[in-house]
């Protein structure tokens, strides 16, 4: 999760988030190179006192500053398109989780199990010092790690947004519409998120908590819940 000293992206817990971080770094390097080049040109022009009085037009310069940005956009667009296809790809999900946004809490249904559904409310005040203020919930979502998970997201009242930054998941919850995405958690842990669409007065008080566990503990959790 993000702490007060974390100014960068959160550590990835899924292959998709790793690809997003790689793309972020790739684009940042290109922007840094452009910034250095433009800064150098501006400084050289600022301190240059020489004037070419015969220079009326320069076809080569115009050709270069037309072709060079085109190649730059290609180097950004190709990884971006690859990442978009990876985000939409869904191969044989193990389970399907349905998330429903309300003002101001989330409710969950495990579509593969008939009787597993619950509401997830934020814990108002931590009962012990190990909980995080304004981030912990009374019912966490248990997910088996190292498995493909499909999530269906909708809402009952206004637009919400189901977001887990460390998993690279951000999907809108629209009333009357069922949106779908997928994720793959590659390590155990507890991952926090929040609603990322302003949905009313208590928008900041509907957190999301995913608990990643191994498949054996997940089966035991299912059996105990049933």
For residue 172, the domain's CATH number is 2.60.40.420
Look at residue 63 and tell me if it is in a domain: yes
Same domain, 84 and 99: no
Look at residue 183 and tell me if it is in a domain: yes
Same domain, 67 and 121: no
Asked if residue 36 has pLDDT above 90, the reply is yes
**CB distance 119 to 137 below 8 Å:** no
In this prediction the pTM is: 0.80
pLDDT digits (tens, 9 = 90+) for 207-226: 999 999 998 888 888 887 76
Q: Give 179-215 as a DSSP string.
A: EEEEEE--S-EEEEEE--S--STTGGG-EEEEEEE-H
Look at residue 1 and tell me if it is in a domain: no
Same domain, 70 and 107: no
Same domain, 198 and 175: yes
Same domain, 198 and 109: yes
- What domain count does the chain have? 2
Same domain, 130 and 73: no
Comparing 206 with 57, the larger pLDDT belongs to 206
pLDDT digits (tens, 9 = 90+) for 41-96: 888 888 887 777 766 777 888 888 889 889 999 989 998 988 888 887 777 888 89
**CB distance 203 to 195 below 8 Å:** yes
Tell me the pairing of strands 169-173 and 160-164. antiparallel
Look at residue 4 and tell me if it is in a domain: no
Same domain, 99 and 129: yes
Measured distance CA(160)–CA(179) in Å, rounded? 12
Measured distance CA(104)–CA(60) in Å, rounded? 60
Same domain, 30 and 139: no
pLDDT digits (tens, 9 = 90+) for 126-148: 666 667 778 888 888 999 988 88
Task: Give the burial class of 9: count Cβ atoms within 10 A of its Cβ; 0-12 exposed, 13-18 middle, 19 or more buried.
Answer: middle
Q: Kindly state the DSSP code that residue 10 receives in the 8-state scheme.
A: P
H helices present in the chain, as ranges: 15-47, 59-88, 215-225
Same domain, 64 and 152: no
- From 66, 88, 110, the end of a domain falls on 88
Angle, helix 15-47 to helix 59-88, in steps of 10 degrees = 160
**Residue 43 structural domain:** 15-47+58-88
Look at residue 205 and tell me if it is in a domain: yes
Same domain, 109 and 213: yes
Same domain, 217 and 127: yes
3-state secondary structure of 122: strand
Look at residue 7 and tell me if it is in a domain: no
Give me the chain's average pLDDT, please: 86
Look at residue 130 and tell me if it is in a domain: yes
Same domain, 79 and 105: no
Look at residue 174 and tell me if it is in a domain: yes
């Amino acid at each position: 999760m993000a702490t007060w000293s974390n100014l960068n992206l959160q550590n990835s817990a899924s292959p998709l988030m790793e690809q997003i971080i790689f793309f972020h770094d790739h684009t940042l390097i290109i922007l840094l190179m452009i910034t250095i080049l433009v800064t150098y040109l501006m400084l050289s022009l600022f301190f240059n006192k020489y004037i070419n009085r015969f220079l009326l037009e320069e076809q080569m310069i115009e050709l270069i500053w037309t072709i060079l940005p085109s190649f730059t956009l290609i180097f950004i667009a190709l990884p971006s398109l690859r990442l978009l296809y990876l985000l939409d790809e869904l191969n044989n999900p193990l389970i399907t989780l349905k998330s429903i946004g309300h003002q101001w809490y989330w409710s969950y249904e495990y579509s593969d199990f008939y009787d597993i559904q619950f509401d997830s409310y934020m814990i108002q005040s931590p009962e012990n010092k190990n909980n995080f203020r304004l981030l912990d919930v009374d019912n966490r979502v248990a997910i088996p790690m190292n498995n493909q998970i499909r999530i269906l997201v909708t809402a009952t009242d206004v637009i919400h947004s189901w977001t887990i930054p460390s998993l690279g998941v951000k999907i809108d919850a629209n009333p009357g519409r069922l949106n779908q995405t997928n994720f793959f958690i590659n390590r155990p842990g507890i991952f926090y998120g929040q609603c990322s669409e302003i949905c009313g007065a208590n928008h900041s008080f509907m957190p999301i908590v995913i608990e990643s566990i191994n498949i054996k503990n997940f089966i035991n959790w299912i059996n105990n819940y049933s």
